Structure 1
């Protein structure tokens, strides 16, 4: 592959690394997700970057970075996480071509990232929403990922969010700690209907939302990059077996349809939680013409949410990808691609 200059966007998460490469002709050449369990250490991130160095022109490109990985318990606190990740990335990517997204401060150097660590921390949602709001007048950008869901209202091309820190965003329902892959099922509901009875769930990590959406046929294959809760195969039957354990049962204690219906119950409850959070954002007084913009590997839930609430739906891939670019992967890795679309000056941001 001939080396070409361009810009690479990085969304460094605690569980996944998302990478997008825009070449110097402004063509989105590569978008991908890699598993990087950073709570175990930085080795997985190191391996991912070393592998990407053999596939992408890392040394010839400019780089824009956003992160959420500072939250993992590898670090003592978020500031320490930001500073360590900034130093670590600066040692592996060309420092003179490396900028970090600092929210309202725009793109900053490594020194600036250390100075504005609070703004750099977990700002990936802001990059996606700023780009969405630059294109769509009014709506709620909803990014449903493997672990969390972000809901950000905007109107007249300006953000209407109340929080910037994770703590404030959790309090305002702008972030929900539930996604379509890694969320334990006891976080979705504490009891379920089965064979005419209400059963209390086992408070054990027997199954996750990946099992639910695999059984229902909704889970994108590339979305589930981690071992299952029991370390066994990613199959519908194995997921049904894990789901059965949540009610203290065995696979043989129900039919395939019983387990399908139970998976549907969990999916409905997760959609209920998203609906309540979305209605809270819409109640800020957003225009009737507001639309829901879906991003992330779980954006199929946003489509269903729009249908339930009676709002129009736009896939973030349609906004991020142009021409023959891969709209599906662009939406899956929305923050990394959004970094490539944003202007570098602060005036271009919608905050």
Structure 2
């Protein structure tokens, strides 16, 4: 038990978990859906599912973004509630909470570090990557958001730390592989030789565009579709058509694939612009790699090529057991907090 650390990343839509053993070997990684905005009972259920799949839990290292869920009136309340929820779900574990630049803190003082704990999961991944590589550009393209961080001199060269600061600096781009409503990607789109306004309704998500293109890893799409309908290419075309006030019969499958490709490209251009902005700071050398993490990292190798950077998957930085390979890079913050906590334990001796 003393040699086992389980890392958790409590998000607003998923609970991610990873286990590491002495020496830093990642032996498990998984993600379960957790619609936190619907109530804390969703998190309780997600923890219960993780417990059935990872046993024993051992010590824990916890990071979060779920405090942003509109279940809570403010972030400080959200942090307090999530700390209490973790303690209730895993009463036997010795909890350590990631407080970013302050390192790890215990449950008894976590409330006093709410600002540092809130949405600091990106800093765990970036800190681990910086220590492993020295320099590079970490891009974590998740289901909801994309984090873009410069790594130089073995350190994270972030200019922002809170979500508001990071939105200002361009280090946080609020767009992701599956959950982003397509109405947030563009105001208009090309169709049948004309620009057509996009309806400002939750008719379709980015998952629909990537599903129509045939490149969506279905395991990454763990939440219901916008209309509660099936996760098929035909159903996604129907939802996509609705975004421009049309029915699927108003176009051919190739028409809808072209629209999906344009919308996906528009989303990736926003990420590419944000990456170029960070690189323009001139803090890393040209051969420095783009390190891809998150469920959308399959889109990042082409991005690295366009930016003229070599690509490395976050999983390449890890000592992975075979059973952890599928999810480790998707669950990068959970893996990172577990490894950082393990390093702290080993230093303490």
TM-score range, shorter chain: over 0.9
Alignment of 1:162 onto 2:159: yes
Residue 319 of structure 1: CA displacement? 1.0
Q: Distance in 2 between matches of 1:124 and 1:42?
A: 20
- Aligned residue for 1:54, secondary structure, equals helix
Matches within 5 A, 1:280-299: 280-285=277-282, 286-299=284-297
Unaligned runs of 5+ in 1: none
Give the match for residue 116 of structure 1.
113
Q: Deviations over 1:36-56 (max 9, x none)?
A: 111110111111222333333
Contact 2:68–2:74, Cα closer than 8 Å, also in 1 = yes
Q: Distance in 2 between matches of 1:130 and 1:26?
A: 15
Give the match for residue 329 of structure 1.
327
Q: Deviations over 1:137-162 (max 9, x none)?
A: 22111000111100011111111110
Alignment of 1:205 onto 2:202: yes
Give the match for residue 312 of structure 2.
314
Residue 288 of structure 1: CA displacement? 1.4
Q: Distance in 2 between matches of 1:108 and 1:95?
A: 17
Give the match for residue 339 of structure 2.
341
Residue 186 of structure 1: CA displacement? 1.5
TM-score by length of 2: 0.94
Residue 323 of structure 1: CA displacement? 5.6
Q: Distance in 1 between matches of 2:190 and 2:319?
A: 42
Q: Distance in 2 between matches of 1:175 and 1:214?
A: 25
CA change 1:55–1:275 in 2 (3 A) is closer
Residue 113 of structure 1: CA displacement? 1.4
When structure 1 is superposed on structure 2, of 284-293 and 119-128 the one drifting more is 284-293
Give the match for residue 153 of structure 1.
150
Q: Distance in 1 between matches of 2:103 and 2:297?
A: 27
Q: Distance in 2 between matches of 1:63 and 1:326?
A: 18
Q: Distance in 2 between matches of 1:112 and 1:309?
A: 43
Give the match for residue 273 of structure 1.
270
Give the match for residue 88 of structure 2.
91
Residue 106 of structure 1: CA displacement? 0.7
CA RMSD in angstroms comes to: 1.9
Q: Deviations over 1:25-46 (max 9, x none)?
A: 7543321111111111011111
Q: Distance in 1 between matches of 2:321 and 2:35?
A: 34
Contact 1:155–1:287, Cα closer than 8 Å, also in 2 = no
- Aligned residue for 2:300, secondary structure, equals helix
Residue 96 of structure 1: CA displacement? 6.1
Q: Distance in 2 between matches of 1:26 and 1:88?
A: 27
Alignment of 1:134 onto 2:108: no
Contact 2:2–2:59, Cα closer than 8 Å, also in 1 = no
Contact 1:207–1:243, Cα closer than 8 Å, also in 2 = yes
Q: Deviations over 1:219-243 (max 9, x none)?
A: 1111111111111000000000100
Residue 135 of structure 1: CA displacement? 1.3
Give the match for residue 192 of structure 1.
189
Matches within 5 A, 1:10-29: 10-23=8-21, 26-29=24-27
Q: Distance in 2 between matches of 1:28 and 1:169?
A: 29
Contact 2:27–2:320, Cα closer than 8 Å, also in 1 = no
Residue 71 of structure 1: CA displacement? 0.4
Q: Distance in 1 between matches of 2:38 and 2:326?
A: 30
CA change 1:70–1:192 in 2 (3 A) is same
Contact 1:106–1:345, Cα closer than 8 Å, also in 2 = no
Give the match for residue 224 of structure 2.
227
CA change 1:96–1:205 in 2 (3 A) is closer
Residue 117 of structure 1: CA displacement? 0.9
Residue 23 of structure 1: CA displacement? 4.0
When structure 1 is superposed on structure 2, of 111-120 and 11-20 the one drifting more is 111-120
